Structure 1
Amino acid sequence: MADTKPLSTAEADAPVVLGRSVYIAVFGLMLGMLMAMLDNLIVSTALPTIVGDLGGLSHLSWVVTAYALGAAVTTPVWGKLGDLYGRKPIFMIAIVLFLIGSALTGLAQNMDQLIAFRALQGLGAGGLMVGAMAVLGDLVPPRERGRFQAMIGGMMPVAFVGGPLVGGLLTEHLSWRWCFYINLPLGIAALLVTGLGMKLPRQHIEARIDYLGAALLGLGVVAITLVASWGGNQYAWGSTVIIALALGGVVALIAFVYSQSRVAEPILPPSMFRDRNFTTAQIISFLVGAAMFGAINFLPQYLQYVRGASPTASGLLLLPLMFGMLAVMIGSGQVVSRTGKYRTLMLVGGAVMTAGMALLLVLKVDTSTVSASLLTTVLGLGMGFLMQNTMLITQNSVPLRNMGAASGAVTLFRTVGGSLGIAVFGSLYTQRLTSSLTKSLGPSGHQLAANGTRIPPSALPGLPAPVQHAFKVAVTDGLHSVLIGGTVLALLTFLVTFLIREVPLRSGAAPGAPLE
């Protein structure tokens, strides 16, 4: 375990004066984080229209997965690049790469191009997500960081609300392509604020990037995600393709772990994992990512197909979840800043998140739209307790030199968890939906599931009444399978939070060091 020196009372209570430049920099970080998070959600309500325009229904899930994987496999690299060459220029490069990917995605002419350009967007998004938190680690000491993390982390619920809402509005009134073009003005604003208003300490570190480790990590994560996505759907679990991918992924990840102890500048320094709090925070980040992204991704399906909500309205109906998350993130950030305590908040978050997931299992075909919307509030409250405190614990467990790598680690585990969650839950959802339709309608139901698992919600009223009812029941059953999996993951998260130790938050660069 890494030793952490407790703060004296004077050090812990010493006031920290933050200048105007810090707030300007945080605004730039908020814009970058908003773009990265918004883009993986804004596309959800536009997907049916995109498929109708470009075709490629069988590749639909990869429009989301390609972006998530691109972000996941590059977050540690972006974090290490920031550690070595300065976080400001690396953050700005990530913005430019993201904008190039956004412009190309809006110009895509077929599904293959769309998926490829979404992956390019994801590469830039990885730098935006890890860069925002790592830069904040440079600007603000942990004791004061809670409220600033709440501001930046608040972009997540804003994105969860704004993504489906803006995506629905743009798709209905302009074109689905504007779901990606909208990033251009936001990105230009983020570049201007970052370039002109952000001032960070200069860094002069000579080292090399572990490109072999990055390649091994990327291969391993992609292979395992493909196994979770394809297994039992496109290929049988015992097929040569699935077995080869599983073995290849495991071998690549083992080789990655081995390589990290053999290079001078590892992407994920093994020394960080000797700290119990750091390791526990990464496990929590993975589980929360899988449960949150995996489950929330399918709630709009229920709202649109079963409750008949429009794409725009389905975004509005998730407002209770998002505002609950945002309120708790802001409130808990203030509590941590005043008290320096976070363990109890993590325990409460795990318990409330578990209750929120289980509570959503009461959703039925005839549940009122208002009730369905309000039931999501508890889940949002639980996630709000966990999201920013996981990053806070991570950054408090490492020295300043590893801040980027540590921020990259927590983002990596959360994003990989989300990618696997979407893949696994998507498989469960499809299998349960197919089974339910086949049970209700016989062979015709199986054919309907095979050809129209993701038929546009607008087409549902045109089907015969018995088929409509069977489809709504099937969608609800599919959502229940996802929520059961989410409840299991949330319960595991709650149990893991008991491993967190209440280590005093430092006020300076090194764990336990006073503010200079």
Structure 2
Amino acid sequence: MTTTDKKTSPTDVPVGVGFRSERGPVLISLMLATSLVALDSTIIATAVPSVVKTLGGFAEFPWLFSIYLLAQAVSVPIYAKVADMFGRKPVILLGIGLFLVGSILCGVAWSMPALIAFRALQGLGAGAVQPMSITIVGDIYTLQERARVQGYLASVWGISAVVGPALGGVFSEWVSWRWIFFVNIPMCFLAGWMLWRRFHENVVRQPHRIDYLGAVLLTVGCSLLILGLLEGGQSWAWDSAVGISVFVIGLLSLTAFVFVERGAAEPVLPLWIFRRRVLVSGSAVSLAVGAVLLGLTSYVPTYVQTVLGAGPLVAGFALATLTIGWPIAASLAGRLYLRIGFRSTVLIGGAVALAGTALTVGLGRHSSIWTVGIDCFVIGVGLGLVASPTLVAAQSSVGWAERGVVTGTNMFSRSIGSAVGVALFGALANSVLNASGHPDQSAAAVNVASHHVFVAIVVACAVMVLASVLLPARRNQVVV
């Protein structure tokens, strides 16, 4: 079977919408559901002072971000496998339901520990919504259309990156920080109702043997490794007993997981994924994309505010150019990979992103906001030409029954890359700040630290380009 994937129209796929005219409402509902996940990734950032003033627990507030990312990342592979067994619709509706309940509970939280726990529930919902949205797009749109439609989903993240922090500030200052969660309620109901009414699946029902042990081992192993990367050097020292134990137990759990999967009737994460070149190389590319993306979103605003002296809103718009370039390029990527192939498209995108990251190395204390914005826009264009074709190539290499797992693996790789990037770039920045004798983050010290981080991002981008070389040269070389 080749990448043309026999299923070239919505009516040919075993799961999807019955008529072409129904795809519009389904896409709108998927974009709405995606906006829930995207907004809650950023909206709470500007509300932290108000939250801490009400609930206390200043030392614990970073967990509001970490626990959300952790719960979302570790649940993706499990949701992806369940979707391949029982269909996409029940999984994404479950995700929206969990997100709804989590949002309500977050809005009525009475303490910081309670809010952290309810953020984890939100993360579990987001872990189903994001991969299922992209998987459903892969089901109901043809190979020629997928990159363009994924560009629409990517644009939701771009808009949310700009709107989220501003909306969080407005609610915190003029209403209450609790409304940053309550606002999700009507959006969840609308997205769920539209999917319930418009998205129809034709899933062949058959008995399945759920791999419970594999799911537990994968969740424990990945949770501990991601937790160690996110909190190492912050909540505990890297070489402390806790820091070492987290990684050791995590690695042992994943080792046991591999042995369990080899004998499982229906493994939660099939090991054949790691034997197919297009999937391995695609996951490696996504790993690097995650690192590059988190590195930029974490340090560009800090550089703009501390070194250039701009306000939070200006810093947000400077970074937003990245999320503007991404969907524009993603929408054009479909035409490009159909003409020159997946690998050539990704290599072009990688070269553009590499050039953009190299430009950031030249940023200094006298650079302009416009220069930062242009650099980020170039990087966004490059990543848009990388991420969409890589995912489409992976999805197109399998049939419906495996597309969820493949999509989930690709997105899980990006989450791992984000966690690794946060850990490595954070350790690098902190070491530079401490060595400079200005751990108080003065403008001069932050300028030097940002420079080192930008150099590291260039290296991560170069790794992404090298991984892209392993992709198949032509579309018809993507074989199962």
TM-score scaled to structure 1, two decimals? 0.84
1:255 aligns with 2:226: no
Question: Who is 2:468 aligned against?
Answer: 497
Matches within 5 A, 1:101-250: 101-250=102-251
SS in 1 for 2:394: helix
User: Contact 2:70/2:227 (CA < 8 Å) preserved in 1?
Assistant: no
SS in 1 for 2:475: coil
Change in 2 beyond 3 A, CA 1:371/1:123:
same
Question: Who is 1:21 aligned against?
Answer: 22
Q: 1:71 Cα shift?
A: 0.8
Which amino acid in the other structure matches residue 262 of structure 1?
G
SS in 2 for 1:297: helix
- Measured in 1, the distance between the counterparts of 2:254 and 2:293 equals 24
Gaps of 5+ in 2: 12-18
Q: 1:335 Cα shift?
A: 3.3
Which amino acid in the other structure matches residue 445 of structure 2?
A
- Measured in 1, the distance between the counterparts of 2:207 and 2:403 equals 16
- Measured in 1, the distance between the counterparts of 2:430 and 2:181 equals 27
Q: 1:300 Cα shift?
A: 2.1
Question: Who is 1:363 aligned against?
Answer: 363
User: Contact 1:45/1:311 (CA < 8 Å) preserved in 2?
Assistant: no
SS in 2 for 1:90: helix
- Measured in 2, the distance between the counterparts of 1:67 and 1:371 equals 33
Indicate the RMSD between aligned Cα atoms, in angstroms: 2.7
The CA deviation string for residues 446-468 of structure 1, in whole angstroms up to 9 with x for no partner, is 5xx4xxxxxxxxxxxxxxxxxxx
Change in 2 beyond 3 A, CA 1:485/1:82:
same
The CA deviation string for residues 362-399 of structure 1, in whole angstroms up to 9 with x for no partner, is 23233333333333212111111122222111111222
Question: Who is 1:461 aligned against?
Answer: none
The CA deviation string for residues 462-509 of structure 1, in whole angstroms up to 9 with x for no partner, is xxxxxxxx6222333333333232221111001110000035369xxx
Change in 2 beyond 3 A, CA 1:144/1:420:
same
- Measured in 2, the distance between the counterparts of 1:397 and 1:312 equals 42
Q: 1:69 Cα shift?
A: 0.9
TM-score scaled to structure 2, two decimals? 0.90
Question: Who is 2:329 aligned against?
Answer: 328
1:408 aligns with 2:379: no
Matches within 5 A, 1:280-319: 280-319=281-320
Gaps of 5+ in 1: 441-445, 450-469
- Measured in 1, the distance between the counterparts of 2:207 and 2:336 equals 39
Question: Who is 1:464 aligned against?
Answer: none
The CA deviation string for residues 85-142 of structure 1, in whole angstroms up to 9 with x for no partner, is 2211221111010111122223333332222221111100010011112222221232
Moved over 6 A (4+): 14-18
SS in 1 for 2:445: helix
Question: Who is 2:14 aligned against?
Answer: none
Change in 2 beyond 3 A, CA 1:494/1:340:
closer
User: Contact 2:135/2:404 (CA < 8 Å) preserved in 1?
Assistant: yes
- Measured in 2, the distance between the counterparts of 1:79 and 1:219 equals 17
Question: Who is 1:466 aligned against?
Answer: none
The CA deviation string for residues 46-89 of structure 1, in whole angstroms up to 9 with x for no partner, is 33443454443433432222111111111111112211222112
Question: Who is 1:471 aligned against?
Answer: 442
Matches within 5 A, 1:430-445: 430-436=430-436, 439-440=437-438
Greater CA drift, 247-256 or 154-163 = 154-163
Q: 1:37 Cα shift?
A: 2.2
Change in 2 beyond 3 A, CA 1:83/1:262:
same
Greater CA drift, 262-271 or 367-376 = 367-376
Change in 2 beyond 3 A, CA 1:364/1:346:
same
- Measured in 2, the distance between the counterparts of 1:52 and 1:380 equals 36
- Measured in 2, the distance between the counterparts of 1:320 and 1:294 equals 15
Question: Who is 2:396 aligned against?
Answer: 396
SS in 2 for 1:294: helix
User: Contact 2:228/2:243 (CA < 8 Å) preserved in 1?
Assistant: yes
Greater CA drift, 480-489 or 127-136 = 480-489
Question: Who is 1:487 aligned against?
Answer: 458
- Measured in 1, the distance between the counterparts of 2:147 and 2:246 equals 41
Q: 1:271 Cα shift?
A: 2.0
Q: 1:434 Cα shift?
A: 4.1
Question: Who is 2:429 aligned against?
Answer: 429
